[in-house]
Chain A
Amino acid sequence: MKKRFILALAIAVCVSLLAGCGGGQSADNDASGGKQEKITLTLWNNWSGQDAKAVAMRKILDDFKAQHPEIDLQVEALATDGLKTRLRTAAAANEMPDLFVMWPGAMTKEFVNGDLLQPIDDFLNSKPEWKNNFIPNALDDFTVDGKTYSVPMNLAPSSLIYYNQAIFDQYGVKVPKTWDELLQAIDTFKRNNVIPIALGNKANWVVQSTTFSTIADRVTGTEWFLKAVAQDGAKFTDPEFIKALTYMQELGKAGAYQDGYNSIDENQMIQLYTQGKAAMFIDGGWAVASLVNTASADLLRNTHITILPPIEGGKGEPQTTAGVVGTGLGVNKKLTGAKKEAALELFYALAGPDGQRATLDSSTLVSYKIDVDKTKAHPLFVELTELMKNVKIVPVYDSKLSSAAVEVINNGLQDLLMGGKPEDIAKRVQDAQAGAVGK
């Protein structure tokens, strides 16, 4: 019996090993070959879903393939979290794809420091009408040491309140203009068994990105935050930051969120809202694209968008929302010659004026000065673009903090909402950021 078991075990081990081998690198990156007529280009993206934006981007890729039979375009679409991880892993092994969707800020900086990207300044400067049409500061987070590495393909305010006017009217609640009004609204909804704010914080970045970044900016001001990120003259143990955490905790204590918010995800959070069980949810501008696809026409008519109310005595500007200029495309450092030209052509197809137009038409904001087509766009999206004309973007925490500190604050906010002490959490964030910056 023992022998047979060992034999079975040995077979199992062999099989699993062989299976492991099967997935290896079969695609040979023949960059310097040049003898073949066909150019192979690899592109990794996160346009895997059925949302309007992903569909629009895939259409551009299909058109590009049809127009360029000489280019063998190999596309891999992954879910967002998966793509981030995959890029990191490929970066560690120095096996980056030729083009890839890349996040501004921290990720761009780290890839530049790892010597994995090539700047696109020459290409940008050769098309001034394109370069000069981006909104102010759009290229900042893709610029490292004076060189620009990409352009944003969308715009992502991460912190907007989507609310159901019908539920507000039913209980005589006004759209909150102050923090106290927000708390009162929460109280009223709670007493009437309506979920005040739907939340899905299982992937723990949600609270940080959609709510806390804005609250914190309202309290501390952007300047303080950037100083604290650089660990230069401000620390996360400062009283301002602890005050910001206290405000966040106040929302939790007021019962703003439904039970079990830590075990459902962002999609289920939107579902709670589309089912009419919640009066509000707080999410990024990207939620419009999925909301218009999933919610009933009736609910969409009652849905409006606003920003978090100002916080009295806070140092931040009130007419703001946290956010980032959206993702761009990274260009692999190794590309040269015809391959590089082909890559830049694809770059322009996706991020150039036509690509920006296609993105905007798919109910996704862009960092590019074009107007939405009001006859075609969904009214909710038109409302969002109107709102964003008067709202400034302030940095979202996870685009500026080091990866280690992001993980700490994400977990810390979960802890905070479950009753953790703001001081302890502040200290953990401070330690992580100080450790990463090296001070």
Chain B
Amino acid sequence: MNASRVRRFIAAALLPSVILYALFVFVPVIWSAYYSFFNWSGIGEAKYIGFQNYAELIRDSVFWHSLKNNVIFVLASILGQVPIALVLAILLHKSNALQRFMRASIFMPMVLSSVVIGMIWQYIYHPQIGILNFLLDALGLGSWKMQWLSDPDISIYALLPPLIWNFVGLYLIIFISALQNIPSEIHDAAKIDGVSGARKLFTITLPMIWGTIQVAIILCISGSLKSFDLVYVMTKGGPAHATELLATYMYNSTFSTYRYGYGSAISTAIVLISLLFIGTSQWLTRRKAD
């Protein structure tokens, strides 16, 4: 086979998934952007209203509050999940029985559905029978007890531990595979040169897996911007929008208040904001890598 035939084969093999992707991801995004110019309750006539939905969106304090909550989620993911996963990966990337067991247990939450995770943490935080408040009492820290999910000032932060706990396993696995992909010659060379410990970590290991860290950060950003299920199960965006995220707000606007046009405007805004975030992060991490 010559090069052009190989290329043609690759193109042909990719075609089905490209078509599927275009049909089920790209087209709906465009479609929803189109709906965002209408005032539509989902039933009956849709009325074209130009940019009115966007004008309302910009003035909508709940939208900005949701965006702020999403930024908190993104930061918690990047500053929580990635470093924790990285440290764990460095500790656990060899394969003895204990490490395999630890890896499996850390990965466990990934396998559970978010609904289950939401339920578990709801009971941990439960105002009457919650184990967290019970433990605080038992430790004599009764004054630290809080209404974790009901108090609008702290409920968004109470959602972060389940979020981090849920996804840390994914990044752990990604980082471990990256670590195992570092060629052993490099480790040997490092040993010969007498490099070890922290110096080896910062001059060899981290630079070698920097590309993976970049990908992990992008996954973190896109994953956190899409967050929905955990919050929907645990608080439904409440109390009084305190834990509303862009996605839950979009869902509530579309399917609870039946404003399909406005919901579509929020979705379109989510797409734009995600692109902006990911573009920025790529730019930032590329600069660091240089």
- The contact of B128 among A91, A204, A258, by CB within 8 Å, is A258
Question: 1/0 contact trace for A251-264 toward B, CB 8 Å?
Answer: 00000001111111
Q: Are A1 and B17 in contact (CB under 8 A)?
A: no
A17 vs B238: C-alpha distance in the bound complex, in angstroms?
32
Across-interface contacts of B257 in A (CB, < 8 A): 403-404, 406-407
> Is the beta-carbon distance between A88 and B255 smaller than 8 angstroms?
yes
Tell me the bound Cα distance from A224 to B256 in angstroms: 26
Out of B17, B128, B239, name the residue touching A10 (CB < 8 Å): B17
Q: Are A259 and B44 in contact (CB under 8 A)?
A: no
> In the bound complex, do residue A92 and residue B236 qualify as a contact, i.e. CB atoms below 8 Å apart?
no
Which residues B27-83 have CB closer than 8 A to chain A? 41-44
Residues of chain A with a CB closer than 8 A to B122's CB: 263
A126 at the interface (CB under 8 A from B): no
Contacts of A13 in B (CB 8 A): 17, 21
Q: Which of B20, B42, B239, B260 contacts A14 (CB 8 A)?
A: B20
B 181-216 contacts with A by CB, 8 A: 181, 211-212, 215
A329 at the interface (CB under 8 A from B): no
How close is B99's CB to chain A, nearest CB, in angstroms?
A: 21
- Complex partner residue of B239 from A2, A204, A258, A272, CB under 8 angstroms: A204
Please name all residues of chain A whose beta carbon is closer than 8 Å to the beta carbon of B211 when the two chains form the complex: 1-2
Q: Are A91 and B43 in contact (CB under 8 A)?
A: yes
B239 CB to closest chain A CB (Å) equals: 4
> Judging by beta carbons under 8 Å apart, are A258 and B127 in contact?
yes
With contact pairs A88-B258, A202-B235, A403-B256 given, residues A14 and B150 touching in the complex (Cβ less than 8 Å): no
- Interface residue from A92, A111, A260 paired with B147 (Cβ < 8 Å): A260
Docked pose: A17 CA to B128 CA in angstroms: 42
**Please, how many angstroms separate the alpha-carbon atoms of A287 and B126 in the complex?**
23
B window 214-271: CB within 8 A of A? 215, 234-236, 238-241, 252, 255-260
Q: Is B125 an interface residue (CB 8 A)?
A: yes
With an 8 A cutoff between CB atoms, is B160 at the interface? no
| Segment from A172-180, A302-310, A354-362, A411-419 that makes contact with B | A411-419
CB-nearest residue of chain B to A275: B128
Q: Which of A202-246 contact B (CB under 8 A)?
A: 202-204
Q: CB distance B177 to A17 under 8 Å?
A: no
- Choose among B21, B41, B256 the residue that contacts A17 (Cβ–Cβ < 8 A): B21
Residues of B within 8 A of A115 (CB): 44
User: In the complex, are the beta carbons of B128 and A260 less than 8 A apart?
Assistant: yes
Chain A: interface residue total (CB-CB under 8 A): 45
For A21, list chain B residues within 8 Å (CB).
24
Give min CB distance, B167 to chain A, whole Å: 15
Contact with B along A1-44 (1 / 0, CB 8 A): 11011000010011001101100000000000000000000000
Nearest chain A CB to B228 CB, angstrom units: 14
- Tell yes or no: B149 within 8 A of A by CB: yes
* Complex CA distance for A261 and B149, rounded to whole angstroms: 9
Pair A203/B236 contact, Cβ less than 8 Å: yes
Cα distance A17–B19 in the bound complex, in angstroms? 11
Q: Let me know if A259 and B252 touch, CB within 8 A.
A: no
Judge whether B148 is part of the interface by a CB distance below 8 angstroms: yes
Q: How far is the CA of A2 from the CA of B178 in the complex (A)?
A: 9
The residue that B260 contacts in the complex, of A92, A272, A420, with Cβ under 8 A, is: A92
Closest to A11 in B: B17
B109 is an interface residue with CB less than 8 A from chain A: no
CA distance A259 to B241 in the complex (A): 19
Q: Quick check: A407 and B235 within 8 Å, CB to CB?
A: no
Per-residue CB contact flags for chain A residues 286-307 toward chain B (1 = under 8 Å, else 0) read 0000000000000000000000
**Who on chain A is nearest to B255 by CB?**
A85
How many Å lie between the Cα of A260 and that of B150 in the bound state?
5
Minimum CB–CB distance for A432 against chain B, Å: 8
- Please give the distance in Å from B288's CB to the nearest CB on chain A: 18
Please report which residues of chain A, range 52-99, place their CB below 8 angstroms from some CB of chain B when the two chains form the complex.
85, 88-89, 91-92
Verify if A49 is at the interface (C-beta below 8 Å from B). Answer: no
Contact A404–B259 (Cβ < 8 Å) = yes
Would you call B43 and A1 a contact (CB within 8 A)?
no
Distance of A115 Cα from B125 Cα, bound (Å): 46
Q: What separation, in Å, do the CA atoms of A115 and B45 have in the docked complex? A: 11
Q: Which of A2, A110, A264, A412 contacts B127 (CB 8 A)?
A: A264
With A1-B212, A14-B17 as given contacts, are A114 and B44 in contact (CB-CB < 8 Å)?
A: yes
B149–A262 CB distance below 8 A = yes
Contacts of A264 in B (CB 8 A): 126-128
Is B152 on the interface with A (CB-CB < 8 A)? yes
A137 within 8 A of B: no
Known: A110-B41, A411-B241. A17 touches B20 (CB 8 A): yes
Cβ of A388 under 8 Å from chain B = no
Closest B residue by C-beta to A411: B240
Q: Contact check: which of A91, A110, A418 meets B152 at CB < 8 Å?
A: A418
Is B238 in contact with A204, judged by CB distance below 8 angstroms? yes
Q: Which residues of A contact B240 (CB under 8 A)?
A: 204, 411-412, 414-415, 418, 420
A111 adjacent to B43 (CB under 8 Å): yes
Q: How far is the CA of A164 from the CA of B49 in the complex (A)?
A: 55
B259 contacts which chain A residues (CB < 8 A)?
A: 404
- Cβ-based interface call for A375 (8 A): no
Partner of A262, one of B126, B181, B239: B239
**Listed A/B pairs (30) with beta-carbon separation below 8 Å:** A1-B178, A5-B174, A13-B17, A17-B21, A17-B24, A18-B20, A20-B24, A21-B24, A85-B256, A88-B43, A88-B255, A88-B258, A110-B43, A113-B43, A115-B44, A204-B239, A260-B126, A260-B127, A260-B128, A262-B147, A262-B150, A263-B127, A263-B155, A264-B126, A403-B41, A403-B256, A414-B238, A414-B240, A415-B239, A418-B152
Q: Using a CB–CB distance below 8 Å, which chain A residues touch chain B? A: 1-2, 4-5, 10, 13-14, 17-18, 20-21, 85, 88-89, 91-92, 110-111, 113-116, 201-204, 258-264, 272, 277, 403-404, 406-407, 411-412, 414-415, 418, 420
Q: A1-B212, A17-B21, A204-B238 are in contact. List 13 more A-B contacts (CB 8 A).
A: A5-B174, A17-B17, A18-B20, A91-B42, A110-B258, A259-B147, A262-B149, A262-B150, A264-B126, A264-B128, A403-B257, A404-B258, A407-B257
